Structure 1
Amino acid sequence: MAGQIPDLHAEARTGTGKGAARQARRDGMVPGIVYGGDVDPLPINIPYNALIKRLKNGRFLSTLWNLKVDGQDDVRVICRSVQRDVVKDLPTHIDLLRLRRTSRISLFIHVDFINEDKAPGLKKGGVLTVVRPEVELNVVAGDIPEQITVDLEGMDIGDIVHISDVTLPQGAKPTVERDFVIANVSAPSSLRASEDEESEDVAADEVETVAESEASDD
């Protein structure tokens, strides 16, 4: 998974305090601090445009980042806070936490589906409805899975995949306690439409039967 961790580029900030932070913003940077890991805090600047792009992509605070700072060793970090301007809602400061390999964090992990060709329900024209393409798991920072796998072999129309049906990597556990749905195999739209029509016909027949019965009673 190490190669899959996205890079977050920054530069060391020489000055500290409000003056240095204001200058960084004038230079198109967002000031920040990297702390934790039994190492002295490191003041940094992150390019504003790059940070905005990352924030717009979503889940910035639940993503593990490989922080790259010139003259420093790469380090795994997770964002703990993004301070924003109260009027413009733009980032003004960022706090990053260094992680040990034994640290536990919660991250969204991609769900991969295999053996679609061995699912009877899909062969019949059923549709795989993915409820959760990603699942939030609590994992160890040094052993983050690239994905979790859902095996669709044998699944028929109406079958449902819950999180309890999935074999999770060792040490990983869902952040949600309930047995939530990941995906299901639903009937094709043509079959659902046919079933709806049949239900309507049955209902109509029942109405006619009731009407005829009431008429004969009169």
Structure 2
Amino acid sequence: MSAVKPLEAVARDRVGKGAARAVRRQGQIPAVIYGGGQAPQAIAVDLIRTRTLIYAGGFKTTVFEISAGGRKTRVIPRDFQLDPVTGVPMHVDFLRVVAGQTVTVEVPVHFLNDDKAPGIKQRGGTLNIVAHTLALDVAPDQIPDAIEIDLTGRDIGDVIHVTDVKLPSGVTYTGEATDTVANIVPPTVLGAEVEAEEAAIAEAQSAESAEEKAEEAGEAEGEGEKPEA
């Protein structure tokens, strides 16, 4: 479970496009805190700090304690917008964390011990990852950093379903239990096909080069012949 992270903010008394642009000119990002049976609160957070948090990963699964307007509020990010050209954060929505509530979050999947999977280590198979994250319903203060899946003993042809995944207590998967997370597939023949194609191209280029050299030699020999008297 991720630790609660502090996040400084300032309360905003003006909203709207003009006010948002003014906030951005000051090196901040307009944001809003909503939910929990309370009225939305407009705030502004530091651009550099927020951008770092977003691009570090796990932003939307982290609980923050925001200090703004003389009070502290525990929240979890629910959405953010990035500039489509520059990638700079433009706005963030935070949901208040209330006791007893659950949220749906995308938690990354980590695969362990691939060196102990015969299908990969001994037989050259490949782990084909179908789901890099799992959508989980969980209390905000119990969000796991990742879901770990042990590949020990896995062989070619093995399929890992959600039912094979051990989820932490109090965590529920929102999809179907039969959903596939990953499987181990046989070694691909693509590599051999590429090598054969590259060899054929190299052979054709070598033959073409030899032919050109032969033609050049013939032309040089013809130019060297003296005309009969």
Count of matched residue pairs = 190
Partner in structure 1 of residue 159 of structure 2: 160
Give the match's secondary structure for 2:168.
coil
Check the 8 A contact 2:120/2:127 in 1, yes or no: yes
Q: Which runs of 5+ in 2 are unaligned?
A: 194-229
Could you list the per-position Cα deviations for residues 75-107 of structure 1 after superposition, in whole angstroms to 9, with x for gaps in the alignment?
A: 13233565x899999765443211124221111
CA distance in 2, matches of 1:166, 1:51: 33
Q: State the distance in 2 between where 1:80 and 1:191 align.
A: 40
Q: What residue number does 2:173 align with?
A: 174
The CA deviation at 1:53 is: 5.4
CA contact (8 A) 1:80 1:97 kept: no
Match of 1:44 in 2: 43
118-127 vs 153-162, which moves further: 118-127
In structure 1, distance between residues paired with 2:42 and 2:78: 14
Superposed, 1:59-78 pairs within 5 Å as 62-69=60-67, 71-73=70-72, 75-78=74-77
Show the counterpart of 1:118.
116
* Distance in 2 separating the partners of 1:170 and 1:178: 16
What is the CA–CA distance in structure 2 between the aligned matches of 1:191 and 1:47, rounded to whole Å?
Answer: 49
- Greater Cα offset, 85-94 or 109-118: 85-94
Measure, in 2, the Cα distance between the counterparts of 1:177 and 1:21: 41
CA–CA separation in structure 1 for the residues paired with 2:47 and 2:152: 47
- What do you get for the CA RMSD once the two structures are aligned? 3.8
- Quick one: distance in 2 between partners of 1:151 and 1:94? 35
Letter in 2 for 1:98: R
1:188 matched residue in structure 2: 187
Aligned AA for 2:142? D
Helix, strand or coil for the counterpart of 1:132?
coil
| Contact 1:102/1:142, CA 8 A, preserved across alignment | no
1:88-144 deviation per Cα after TM superposition (whole angstroms, max 9, x unaligned): 997654432111242211112222323434322223232223232322212122322
Correspondence for 1:35: 34
How far apart in 1 are the matches of 2:144 and 2:178? Answer: 20
Separation of aligned partners in 2, 1:10 and 1:152: 41
Whether the 8 Å contact between 2:76 and 2:140 is mirrored in structure 1 is no
> For 1:78-157, what aligned pairs fall within 5 Å after superposition?
78-80=77-79, 82=81, 93-124=91-122, 125-157=124-156
Residues 44 and 146 from structure 1, CA distance in 2 versus in 1: closer, same or farther, beyond 3 angstroms? same
Amino acid of the structure 2 residue aligned with 1:183: A
Of all paired residues, the percent bearing the same amino acid is 33
Q: Helix, strand or coil for the counterpart of 1:170?
A: coil
Pick closer, same or farther for the CA change 1:88–1:109 going to 2, 3 Å: closer
Q: Which moved more, 1:46-55 or 1:25-34?
A: 46-55
Residue in structure 1 matched with residue 13 of structure 2 by the alignment: 15
Counterpart of 1:2 in structure 2 is 2
Cα distance in 1 for residues equivalent to 2:99 and 2:28: 29
Kept after mapping to 1: 8 A contact 2:33/2:75: no
Structure of larger gyration radius: 2
